[in-house]
Amino acid sequence: MKIIVLTTETLHHVYFVQKVASIFSIEAVICERNILAPHFETHHSFEDKRDSHEAKLLFSNKKVSLNDICDTFFVDSINSDESVQMIKNISPDIIIVEGTGKVHENVINAKKGEMINFHGGDPEEYRGLDSHLWAIYHSDFNNFLITVHHLNKELDDGDIILQKEISLIKNMKLHELRSYNIKIAVELAISTLDMYQRHGFLISRPQKKKGRYYSFMPTSLKTICLKRFEKYTKDLVI
């Protein structure tokens, strides 16, 4: 089974690749360098705490890169001609998309096997970016999911393969949420790859409705989310 991962080199994505590669051989990682940035302020201080927390929790503060794990090819855009050619040359059975920009049709059309995306949220309610933060903003604590779905040209609306709920715990902090997310994403990746290895295809279901699209969350709204999330977890019984 040939596997390619399309991702970016952030701590939680490196962790994801490392853990999946410990179970399944990854043929190559195509890493996107240029990340889409909004024209307004989005950075919040809790994200600095998040990065420090993940460095300690996921890697014991050791520096680990994608190149340390498997063959990694860096491209400016995941939709570049270089990226498309690599996909065609390798001809993978499964392409895993974890945290890149929107994948365009030229990449989708280059594949011969399955292409799956990991969405940090419930795409039937929240498509696009910062899905868990938008759920918190709407005080929607029942939609804390990780979703694996087929990737197609419409953003986050492919058939759902697997989903798992994120169980929030008492006094959990917002800067801890992403590390919970990525560990569940690893579990789902291993289960999805095991399904393909056993059956030669991925069992899925169509989405029942198309969730609303959300873009980057501004800093000011993240402050609201921080307060709402930590009030909610403080009031949890266990």
pLDDT tens per residue across span 52-82: 999 999 999 999 999 999 999 999 999 999 9
Number of helical H runs and strand E runs in the chain: 7, 9
Tell me what pLDDT residue 34 has: 87
Question: For residue 4, what is the enclosing H or E element?
Answer: strand 3-7
Residues 109 and 147: their CA atoms lie apart, in Å, by 23
Percent residues over pLDDT 70 in the chain: 100
**Banded pLDDT at 86 (limits 50, 70, 90):** very high
Residues ≥6 apart with Cβ < 8 Å to 216: 38, 40, 42, 129, 130
pLDDT tens per residue across span 13-24: 999 999 999 999
In Å, the largest CA–CA distance within the chain is 53
Domain boundaries, the chain: 3-234
Residues 122 and 24: their CA atoms lie apart, in Å, by 26
Residues 164 and 119: their CA atoms lie apart, in Å, by 11
Q: Please give the average per-residue pLDDT across 6-34, as a whole number.
A: 96
First to last CA, the chain: 42
pLDDT tens per residue across span 169-199: 999 999 999 999 999 999 999 999 999 999 9
- Residue 238 in this model has a pLDDT that exceeds 80: no
- Residue 161 in this model has a pLDDT that exceeds 80: yes
DSSP state of 205: B
**Banded pLDDT at 109 (limits 50, 70, 90):** very high
- Residue 237 in this model has a pLDDT that exceeds 90: no
Residues 204 and 212: their CA atoms lie apart, in Å, by 21
**Banded pLDDT at 146 (limits 50, 70, 90):** very high
Name the least confident of 134-138, 164-168, 224-228: 164-168
Joined together, the tokens standing for residue 60 give 């014991």
What does pTM read for this prediction?
Answer: 0.95
Q: Please give the average per-residue pLDDT across 222-227, as a whole number.
A: 98
Q: How high does pLDDT run on average in the chain?
A: 95
Q: DSSP of 85-110, one letter per residue?
A: HHHHHH--SEEEEES-SPPPHHHHTT
Residues 202 and 168: their CA atoms lie apart, in Å, by 29
Tell me what pLDDT residue 117 has: 97
Fold topology of 3-234: Rossmann fold (3.40.50)
